[in-house]
Structure 1
Amino acid sequence: MATGRIWRSSPWDALLLAISVAQFVLTLWLAVGWAAGSHLVRVGGCAAVAAMTTYNIIVVSHLFTHAPWFTSNRLNALVSVLNSMNIGQSVQAYRLTHVRNHHRFNNDSKAEDGTTRDLSSTYRAGKDGEHAPLPRYAVGGALRSFADRGREVLYVRRLWRVGRDETVLCSLASRGAARRARELRQIQADRAAHVLVLVLFAAISWQWLLLCYAPAFLLSLTIVNVQNYYRHYGADPHERAADSVSYYGRLYNLVTFNDGYHQEHHLSPTAHWSDLPAVRERNRARLDAQPRIVSPVPAMLGFLHRRRPLLHRGVEGCPHASEAGRYQQEVKAP
Structure 2
Amino acid sequence: MKIWRYSAKDAFMPLLSMAQLTAMVLMAMKWEHMPLAGRVGCLALLIFMMTYNIIVITHLFTHTPWFQEQTMNSVASMLNSINIGQSAEAYKLMHVRNHHRYNNDQPGPNGDTNDLSSTYREGVNGEHATLGRYAFGGAGSSLVDIGRALLSVNRLWRVGETEHELLGVAAKSPAKRASELRQIQLDRMAQFAGVAVFFVLSWKWMLFCYVPAFYIVLALVNIQNYYEHYGATPESRYADSVSYYGRLYNLLTFNDGYHQEHHLRPQAHWSTVPRVRSEHRDALNQVQRVVSPVPAIVGYLHRNRPKLHQHPLTPADLQNYKEKQSGLAATGNDR
TM-score band, normalised by shorter chain: over 0.9
Does the alignment pair 1:7 with 2:4?
A: yes
CA distance in 2, matches of 1:294, 1:125: 25
Letter in 2 for 1:181: A
Letter in 1 for 2:282: A
CA distance 1:270–1:151, change in 2 (3 Å)? same
Cα offset, 1:316, TM superposition: 4.8
Cα offset, 1:160, TM superposition: 0.4
Does the alignment pair 1:49 with 2:67?
A: no
Output aligned runs, 1:222-261, within 5 Å. 222-261=219-258
Does the alignment pair 1:144 with 2:154?
A: no
Query: 66, 73, 78: which is aligned to 2:75?
Result: 78
Does the alignment pair 1:93 with 2:59?
A: no
Cα offset, 1:153, TM superposition: 1.9
Query: 182, 185, 191: which is aligned to 1:185?
Result: 182
8 A contact 1:7–1:70 mirrored in 2: yes
Alignment deviations for residues 175-217 of structure 1 (CA, whole Å, 9 cap, x no partner): 1111110000000000011111111011000000000000001
> Tell me, what secondary structure is at the counterpart of 1:75?
helix
Output aligned runs, 1:1-334, within 5 Å. 5-316=2-313, 321=318, 323-326=320-323, 329=326, 331-333=329-331
Letter in 2 for 1:331: A
Cα offset, 1:326, TM superposition: 4.2
Letter in 2 for 1:54: T
CA distance in 1, matches of 2:6, 2:324: 33
TM-score w.r.t. length of structure 2: 0.96
8 A contact 1:292–1:327 mirrored in 2: no
Cα offset, 1:319, TM superposition: 11
8 A contact 1:315–1:321 mirrored in 2: no
Unaligned runs of 5+ in 2: none
8 A contact 1:250–1:332 mirrored in 2: no
Letter in 2 for 1:274: S
Cα offset, 1:318, TM superposition: 11
CA distance in 2, matches of 1:318, 1:9: 42
8 A contact 1:90–1:191 mirrored in 2: yes
CA distance in 2, matches of 1:47, 1:163: 34
TM-score w.r.t. length of structure 1: 0.96
Cα offset, 1:323, TM superposition: 3.1
CA distance 1:55–1:182, change in 2 (3 Å)? same
Cα offset, 1:314, TM superposition: 1.7
8 A contact 1:308–1:320 mirrored in 2: no
Alignment deviations for residues 245-296 of structure 1 (CA, whole Å, 9 cap, x no partner): 0000000000000000000000000000000000000000110111101100
8 A contact 1:63–1:273 mirrored in 2: yes
Alignment deviations for residues 281-313 of structure 1 (CA, whole Å, 9 cap, x no partner): 000011011110110000011111011111001
8 A contact 2:78–2:88 mirrored in 1: yes
CA distance 1:283–1:117, change in 2 (3 Å)? same
8 A contact 1:295–1:327 mirrored in 2: no
CA distance in 2, matches of 1:319, 1:214: 49
Unaligned runs of 5+ in 1: none
Letter in 1 for 2:104: N
CA distance in 2, matches of 1:213, 1:185: 27
CA distance in 1, matches of 2:151, 2:34: 32
CA distance 1:32–1:318, change in 2 (3 Å)? farther
8 A contact 2:43–2:213 mirrored in 1: yes
Cα offset, 1:325, TM superposition: 4.0
Comparing 19-28 with 315-324, greater Cα deviation is found at 315-324
The alignment of Structure 1 onto Structure 2 pairs a total of residues equal to 331
CA distance in 2, matches of 1:41, 1:284: 48
8 A contact 1:231–1:299 mirrored in 2: yes
**Root-mean-square deviation (CA), in Å?**
1.6
CA distance in 1, matches of 2:106, 2:170: 24
